[in-house]
């Protein structure tokens, strides 16, 4: 078979390890041929490909980003659609597609599969918000990057007796904030799943300060304070019509300073969480998922994605994968909240 691979949506550490795992197993075990669609769905819509021989994936598991490039292209717009994509696949001799991406990518893959294309998916999101898999690669690396950055900010906060607010990624869920915040010993963790007032946050900050600590607040970009109706967004919409989030830390800093009298600084980590080399955990998970995607292709499990369940890799339908977000359970937040203040 000739298999096309694409990476779509936001990049994250581990994408290259997926590509490597799929290509090595596909060639070594099944004799498959591989091509890569450049820049995600754009390459699929335009039929823009490159060959992926075994030599091309040598040593790439440790590299961040993606050797194929990525974009947030919608395959149903700008001259796309299933008939256009089918025509390109027939012309190029491509039998199936492995789509590596997050919720938006997999939703598009489901629509295309429903239209008759042969597609399997590999879940990718640093937010760790896909309910059908226990963990997604990229998440562990993002948490490590965030934790290290918070540790560094904490020392400067302690030197100046300041309150430090650190904003991490997390559009709909607070997994990065929860894990990085607990690891770094945050005095407050603010996530999209929990409505928390400015007054309560200020109280936690004052309690920490009264003990001689430099208060540390970790907030997810999608956090909505009790007095707001929607997440803070001033950057317009992305290509899928979603608000571009970011900046809630800058909104919180002056309000907390006014309520506590403590000098407060905000830092937004942003895309640094997506960059750099993947952790050992993410390299291993991504490699296993890439190899399992080849099993999906061989078995003809079209319209499914590979998922981590416990320590095993399983195959789940796109519908199950997209059914709901994996949010932080109340008991997990309550567990962390014991350490606040």
Binding residues for substrate: 125-127, 162, 169-171, 221, 265, 271-274
| Rounded Cα distance, 182 and 76, in Å | 41
Residues 94 and 50: beta-carbon distance below 8 Å:
no
Among 185, 124, 121, 36, which Cα is nearest to 318's? 121
**Paired strand residues for 189:** 218
Tell how strand 312-317 and strand 304-309 pair up: antiparallel
- Contact predicate 139/281, CB 8 Å: no
Q: Helix, strand, coil proportions of the chain in percent (round to 5)? A: 45, 20, 40
Nearest Cα neighbor of 228 from 260, 262, 252 is 252
Identify whether the C-beta of residue 172 lies closer than 8 Å to the C-beta of residue 227: no
Q: Which among 11, 39, 127, 140 is annotated as catalytic?
A: 127
Contact present, 296 and 315 (Cβ < 8 Å): yes
Cα–Cα distance measured from residue 185 to residue 3, given in angstroms and rounded to the nearest whole number: 46
CA atoms of 177 and 221, how far apart (whole Å): 9
Is 127 a residue of the active site? yes
- The binding site for ATP comprises 10, 72-73, 102-105
For helices 198-210 and 248-260, angle between their N-to-C axes, nearest 10 degrees: 60
> Alpha-carbon distance 174 to 221, whole Å?
9
Catalytic positions, please? Answer: 127
């Amino acid at each position: 078979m000739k298999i096309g691979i694409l990476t779509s949506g936001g990049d994250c550490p581990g994408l290259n390890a997926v590509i490597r795992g799929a290509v090595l197993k596909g060639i070594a075990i099944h004799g498959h041929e591989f091509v890569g669609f450049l820049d995600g769905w754009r390459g699929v819509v335009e039929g823009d490909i490159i060959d992926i021989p075994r030599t091309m994936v040598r040593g790439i598991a440790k590299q961040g980003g993606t050797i194929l490039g990525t974009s947030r292209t919608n395959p149903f717009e700008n001259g796309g659609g299933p008939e256009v994509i089918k025509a390109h696949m027939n012309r190029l001799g491509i039998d199936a597609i492995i789509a590596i991406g997050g919720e938006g990518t997999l939703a598009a893959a489901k629509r295309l599969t429903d239209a008759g294309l042969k597609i399997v998916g590999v879940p990718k999101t640093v937010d760790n918000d896909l309910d059908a898999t226990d963990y997604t690669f990229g998440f562990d690396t993002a948490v490590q990057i965030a934790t290290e950055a918070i540790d560094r900010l904490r020392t400067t906060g302690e030197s100046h007796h300041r309150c430090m607010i650190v904003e991490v990624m997390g559009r709909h869920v607070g997994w990065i904030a929860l894990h990085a915040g607990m690891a770094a010993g945050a005095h407050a963790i603010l996530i999209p799943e929990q409505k928390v007032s400015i007054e309560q946050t200020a109280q936690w900050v004052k309690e920490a300060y009264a003990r001689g600590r430099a208060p540390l607040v970790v907030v997810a970009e999608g956090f909505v304070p009790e007095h707001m109706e929607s997440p803070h967004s001033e950057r317009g919409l992305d290509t899928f019509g979603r608000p571009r989030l970011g900046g809630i830390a800058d909104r919180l800093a002056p309000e907390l300073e006014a309520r506590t009298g403590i000098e407060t600084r905000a830092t937004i980590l942003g895309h640094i969480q997506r960059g750099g080399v993947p952790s050992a955990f993410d390299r291993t998970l991504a490699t296993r998922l890439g190899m399992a995607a080849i099993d999906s292709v061989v078995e003809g499990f079209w319209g499914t994605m590979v998922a981590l369940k416990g320590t095993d890799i399983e195959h789940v339908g796109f519908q199950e994968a997209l059914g709901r977000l994996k949010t932080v359970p109340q008991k997990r937040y309550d567990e962390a909240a014991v350490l606040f203040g």
